[in-house]
């Protein structure tokens, strides 16, 4: 980078130079000019950064979607855009031609207790247009007493309703997949016991949803095809694949789109 002018300019080393040896006044002037330019550059960079940041923060979305869950909501074993909440958001975006603001509170390994704790920490607003809830597999996997699920799932369902503008019609509950029909499940678990317990969890969730008039989507029948259709299982041999998540989205899309109309 070079500047025009016979007296002042940038040297190859980045230092200021002058054609003749400067006196003290000239050195002082050079220092002031250099400091001023650097300050101006810094001010411009900071202004641009905060301008972009404020623009993103101030962006107004027509629809707000909250996804609550564990690895099946997080999308363990698949790409970030492959998880069902992201696929659902993209599909709704295309359908309505409106960008969906998705907040996912989900992580691999979470139990109902973990999800309750994280919701409390994050403390989201109660203004979501759509809320999905899929939780419980880690309660079963870790051998936590079923009574804990009965109590905490009920609490989570009530919390999901509250977060959905206190409107039960804006909540979608999804059944727990049966991981016994995966290579990992076949090797690691008592498959009959796992299936029976998963069914117990799902039956309880379905009944509570019915009592509270909340939409319940049973997708467990897709997961039980995992051994016959390996493409339904992620590469880790345990979790669901992108294809399976797209099938789940197909199951819940009609309900989700009707909620946002």
Q: What distance lies between CA 145 and its chain's CA centroid?
A: 29
Whether the pLDDT of residue 16 is over 70: the answer is: no
By C-alpha distance, which of 62, 104, 86 is closest to 248?
86
Q: Which range is least confidently modeled, 155-164, 183-192, 221-230?
A: 183-192
Q: 82: which strand partners?
A: none
112 DSSP 8-state letter:
H
C-alpha 156/C-alpha 110 separation (Å) is 13
Q: Is the pTM of this model over 0.85?
A: no
SS (H, E, C) 135-187: CCHHHHHCCCCHHHHHHHHHHHHHHHHHHCCCCHHHEEEECCCCHHHCHHHHH
Question: What tens digit of pLDDT does each residue of 38-96 get?
Answer: 555 555 444 554 444 444 445 678 999 999 999 999 999 999 999 999 999 999 999 99
- CB proximity list for 225: less than 8 A, separation 6 or greater: 181, 232
Inform me whether the pLDDT recorded for 215 exceeds 70: yes
């Amino acid at each position: 980078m070079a500047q025009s002018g016979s007296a002042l300019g940038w040297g190859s080393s980045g230092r200021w130079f002058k054609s003749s040896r400067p006196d003290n006044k000239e050195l002082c002037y050079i220092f002031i000019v250099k400091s001023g330019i650097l300050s101006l550059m810094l001010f411009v960079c900071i202004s641009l950064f905060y301008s972009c940041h404020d623009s993103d923060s101030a962006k107004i979305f027509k629809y707000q979607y909250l996804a609550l869950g564990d690895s099946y909501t997080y999308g363990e074993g698949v790409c970030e855009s492959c998880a069902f909440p992201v696929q659902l958001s993209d599909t709704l975006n295309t359908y309505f031609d409106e960008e969906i603001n998705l907040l996912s509170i989900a992580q691999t390994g979470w139990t109902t207790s973990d999800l309750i704790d994280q919701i409390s920490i994050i403390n989201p607003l109660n203004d979501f247009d759509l809320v999905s809830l899929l939780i419980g597999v880690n309660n079963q996997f870790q051998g936590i007493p079923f009574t804990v699920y009965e109590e905490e799932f009920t609490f989570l369902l009530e919390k999901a309703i509250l977060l959905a503008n206190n409107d039960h019609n804006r909540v979608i509950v999804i059944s727990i997949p049966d991981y016994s029909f995966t290579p990992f499940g076949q090797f690691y678990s008592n498959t009959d016991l796992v299936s029976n317990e998963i069914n117990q969890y799902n039956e309880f969730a379905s009944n509570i949803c019915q009592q509270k008039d909340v939409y319940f989507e049973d997708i467990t029948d897709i997961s039980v095809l995992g051994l016959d259709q390996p493409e339904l299982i992620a590469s880790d041999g345990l979790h669901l694949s992108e294809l399976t998540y797209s099938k789940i989205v197909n199951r819940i899309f009609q309900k989700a789109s009707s909620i946002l109309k």
